[in-house]
Structure 1
Amino acid sequence: MINYDSIYGPAIKQFIDMKTKLGFRYTFGKLILSQIDQFALQREEKTTGITKEFAQKWGEERGNESERYRYDRIRYLAQFSSYLCDLGNSSYIPRLPRHPKNTFIPYIYSQKEVHALFKAADELRFVKRNANSCLICMPALLRLLYCTGVRIGEALAMTDEDVNLIEKYLRVKDSKNGKERIIPISTSLASVCKEYRHYRDQLPSKDRSDYFFMNTNGNKCGKGVAGWFKKCLVKAGIRYTGRNHGPRIHDLRHTFAVTSLASMAEAGVDLYASLPILSNYLGHGSIGATNHYVRLTANMYPDLIKDIDMTCLNVFPKPKNYEAN
Structure 2
Amino acid sequence: MRHRRRSSHASSPWPGSPRLRARPGPTDYRWCAGSPGIFPASSPAPRYPPAGIFPAPRRTPPYIYTEEEIERLLEATLSWGLAKGINRQTYQCLFGLLAATGMRLGEAIGLARADVDLEAGILTLREAKGGKDRLVPLHPTTTKALADYAARRDDYRICRKSGWFFVLRGEQRLRPQYAERVFMGVTRRIGLRDSGPHSRGPRLHDFRHSFAVSTLLRWYREGEDVECLLPTFTTYLGHSKVRDTYWYLSPCPELMNEAASRLEARWGTGHDGRRDPGSAHRAFLHPAPHAAT
Contact 1:134–1:221, Cα closer than 8 Å, also in 2:
no
Q: Where does 1:99-110 land on structure 2 (aligned, <5 Å)?
A: 100-110=56-66
- Decide which of 225, 241, 248 is 1:293's aligned counterpart: 248
Instruction: State how 1:118-133 maps to structure 2 within 5 Å.
Output: 118-126=74-82
Indicate the residue corresponding to 2:163 in structure 1. 210
Superposition pairs of residues 177-196 of structure 1, within 5 angstroms: 177-196=130-149
2:94 is the alignment partner of 1:141: yes
1:125 Cα deviation after fit? 4.0
Report what 1:115 is aligned to. Answer: 71
Higher helix share: 1
**Cα RMSD over matched residues?**
3.2
- CA 1:273–1:230 in 2, change beyond 3 Å: closer, same or farther? same
Q: Distance in 1 between matches of 2:242 and 2:256?
A: 22
Letter in structure 1 aligned against 2:69: E
Q: In structure 2, what is the Cα distance between the partners aligned to 1:276 and 1:242?
A: 41
Residue deviations 1:157-211 (CA, integer Å, cap 9, x gap): 0111111111111111131121211111111111111111111112242783211
SS at match of 2:124: strand
SS at 1:296 equivalent: coil
The residue identity in structure 2 corresponding to 1:279 is T
Asked which structure has the greater CA Rg, the reply is 2
Aligned to 1:227: 181
1:306 to 1:98, Cα distance in 2 relative to 1, 3 A: closer
Gaps of 5+ in 1: 1-48, 54-80, 83-94
Residue of 197, 220, 235 corresponding to 1:280: 235
Distance between the aligned counterparts of 2:214 and 2:95, measured in 1?
16
Measure, in 1, the Cα distance between the counterparts of 2:101 and 2:77: 18
Is 1:246 aligned with 2:201? yes
**Matched residues in 2 for 1:247 and 1:157: separation?**
22
Deviation at 1:275, TM superposition (A): 2.3
Q: How far apart, CA to CA, are the structure 2 residues paired with 1:270 and 1:244?
A: 41
Which residue is equivalent to 2:267? none
Percent identity between matched residues is 24
The count of residues paired between Structure 1 and Structure 2 equals 233
Q: Per-residue displacement from partner, 1:1-49 (whole Å, max 9, x unpaired)?
A: xxxxxxxxxxxxxxxxxxxxxxxxxxxxxxxxxxxxxxxxxxxxxxxx9
CA 1:285–1:306: 2 relative to 1, 3 Å = closer
Deviations 1:78-133 (A, max 9, x none): xxx99xxxxxxxxxxxx998364214211111122111111112333417x7x8x8
Paired AA for residue 121 in structure 1? T
Following superposition, the deviation at residue 307 of structure 1 comes to 2.2
Question: CA 1:164–1:244 in 2, change beyond 3 Å: closer, same or farther?
Answer: farther
* CA deviation map 1:137-160 (0-9, x unaligned): 111111110111110000000111
Decide whether the 8 Å contact of 1:159 with 1:212 is kept in 2. yes
- CA deviations 1:201-245 (Å, max 9, x no partner) are 122427832111111121320021111111221232212587694
Q: Normalising by the residue count of structure 1, what TM-score does the alignment of the two structures yield? A: 0.63
Quote the residue 1:98 is aligned against. Answer: 54
State the alpha-carbon separation in 2 of the partners of residues 217 and 105 from structure 1: 38
Unaligned runs of 5+ in 2: 1-16, 22-32, 35-47, 265-277
